[in-house]
Structure formats: structure tokens, C-alpha cells
Amino acid sequence: MSLILVAEQILNGLQFGIMLFLMAAGLTLIFGVMGLINLAHGSLYMVGAFCAAAVSAATGSFLLALVAALAGAAAAGALIELAVIRRLYARDHLDQVLATFALILIFSESTRWLFGSFPLYLDVPAALSGPITLPGGIQYPLYRLTLILVGLTVAAGLFLLIARTRIGVRIRAGENDREMIAALGVDIDRLYTFVFALGAALAGLAGALVGAIQSVQVGMGEPVLILAFVTIVIGGIGSIKGALVGALLVGLTDTLGSIFLPQLFKLFMAPAAATQTGASLASMAIYILMAAVLIWRPTGLYGVRA
């Protein structure tokens, strides 16, 4: 097995992890600030992808497609926060799960009604198509490398927003004591709407970026949502740093496991059995990782102990 193949798969794992971070960051913000379990977060990922595909088809501009994904997902997030989610903050988690699961069905059927059941396709912009040669002779798709850089830039901007701005101070205070900041005069309803729209926009951006390398179809957000929940459990609920580290761990574990575990088992098993065993174990690897982290740190890597 060549070093170039290993390097390419590491880059694939990083790209997957960075896109997963965009999903997990919004999810962990929403849960950390509002205490809300939002199963509809994957639907906002899908909304961003469909908005991008529709605008790209109409205008031919990938940049406008990304803007539409951000705006469409943020608007959808703000709308459902005002219309539905706001009524769930004082309810228990079971009510939140049932209500947001209903939102999944509403988003899925509405999207199918608007766009049909057939998948849409978002083309990679011409300026980012084709491979680029990296040090060591590695040929890697320029678009995937751009996804890594865009994701890291968004992560840096999010860290600065949370750590260095007044709204970031309010978000961090809301995670610790929402009653106190409300008593100090902060409009808690407006803060919640902003946080929910921000999380939705991040999910929509991830959907648009991934939509150029996968098909855009109804239900595309649910598998990613499961991985996002695994990510925030590993990183620690409410921690942006934990979401980034957890996403990278999940991305690398999933990508490298699916490639290298079957090769490892071929060293001492028949090829057919090794492929089947390795693939089965690779599909469980991220959950084994999550269990190991929770045994070591029950609150996650960067979670705050109660």
C-alpha cells in the first residue's frame, strides 16, 4: 500500500470531517444554548442543498448558489424557530423529539412536492474542477481541497464570533445561565432565533458544498444527522472546539476504517471473508470510538462536567 494512497485517504477523511463539523457546530450550539434536541437539523442541510441546486441551475453561478443555500437555510431555521421550536423550550425532550421528527416529514414531503422525487445535481465550478498536484506527487481534486480550506475558514470565523464578539458573549452566557442573562436585559427570544438561524445556515452551507460531489435528493440529511450527533457526543455537547475535534476524528475513522480494515484482515483471512469482516467492523468503528470516549470521559472530550 503506497504512501500516496494513505495521504489521499487522510485528505478525504479531513474533507469529510470538516463538512461534518459544519453540521455538528450548529447542532451543538442549538443544544448547548437552548437545551433543544433538534432532529430536523438534517432537513436544514437538505434545504441548503436544494436551494443551491435550484439557483445554480437558474443562474449558472456557484457563488450565488452558496449564498442562496446560506440564506434559504437560515430563513427556514428562523421560521421554524418562531413558529414551532419556541413553543418547545419548556417542554421535555420527548416532546422536542416528536415535534422535530414531524418537521422532518414536513420538510421531506414539501421538498418532494416542489422539486419532485428525482435527484438534482450541482456542478463543480469550472475554476475548481480537476486535480491539483500536492507535495509528494499527490494528485488530489481541487474542489475537495477547497472544501477543507472553506471549512477551516468558517471554523475560524465561528471561533472568533463566539470568543471575541458581544453576541458571542451572550451565546456563552446563555449556555451557562439563560435566566440570568434574561434578567440582565438580554432579549433571550431574539438570541435564540439568531442561534437557531446560524446553526441552520451552517447546515445549509454544508449541504450545498457536499451537493456538488453527491446527488441532491430528499432525505439526504438524515444519515448525516446521525453522524453529527455522534460527533457532538464525542466532542462534548455545547463545545465548538469539541465539535471540530470530534468531526475530524469521526471523518478520519470512517474513511480510513472503510479503506484499510479490509486490507488488514486480508493478512490473516481469506480475501472474501476479510472484505466482509473489515467492512462490517468499519461501519461500527465510529460507534466504537464514541463508546471508548464516553468510558474515558462521560461528558465528551471538551464537555463541561455538571
DSSP 3-state of 134: strand
In angstroms, the CA 165 to CA 239 distance is 17
pLDDT of the residue at 167? 84
Residue 257: CB atoms within 10 A of its CB come to 22
Contacts of 127 (CB under 8 A, 6+ apart): none
- The H-or-E segment that residue 67 falls in is helix 62-83
In angstroms, the CA 64 to CA 119 distance is 20
Contacts of 120 (CB under 8 A, 6+ apart): 50, 53, 54, 57, 211, 215, 216, 217
Contacts of 302 (CB under 8 A, 6+ apart): 235, 236, 239, 241, 242, 245
Is residue 22 classed exposed, middle or buried when 0-12, 13-18 and 19+ CB atoms within 10 A define those classes? Answer: buried
In angstroms, the CA 147 to CA 91 distance is 38
pLDDT of the residue at 306? 44
Name the residue among 105, 124, 118, 113 with its Cα closest to residue 43. Answer: 105
Do the beta carbons of residue 281 and residue 259 sit within 8 Å?
no
pLDDT of the residue at 30? 84
Domain positions in the chain are 8-219
pLDDT of the residue at 165? 87
Helix H segments across 165-305?
A: 166-176, 178-183, 188-211, 221-235, 240-265, 271-296
Per-residue pLDDT of the chain (306 residues; tens, 9 = 90+): 578 888 888 999 999 999 999 999 888 888 877 778 889 999 999 999 999 999 999 998 999 999 999 999 999 999 999 999 888 887 888 888 999 999 999 999 999 999 888 888 888 888 888 888 888 778 889 999 999 999 999 999 999 988 888 888 887 776 666 677 777 677 788 888 999 999 999 999 999 999 999 889 998 999 899 999 999 999 988 888 999 999 999 999 999 888 888 888 888 888 888 888 888 888 899 999 999 999 999 888 987 654
Taking every pair of Cα atoms in the chain, the longest distance, rounded to a whole number of angstroms, is 68
Name the residue among 51, 41, 78, 70 with its Cα closest to residue 222. Answer: 41
In angstroms, the CA 264 to CA 33 distance is 43
pLDDT of the residue at 304? 62
Task: Give the Å distances, CA to CA, from 218 to 45, 47, 139, 247, 296.
Answer: 11, 9, 33, 24, 38
In angstroms, the CA 26 to CA 43 distance is 13
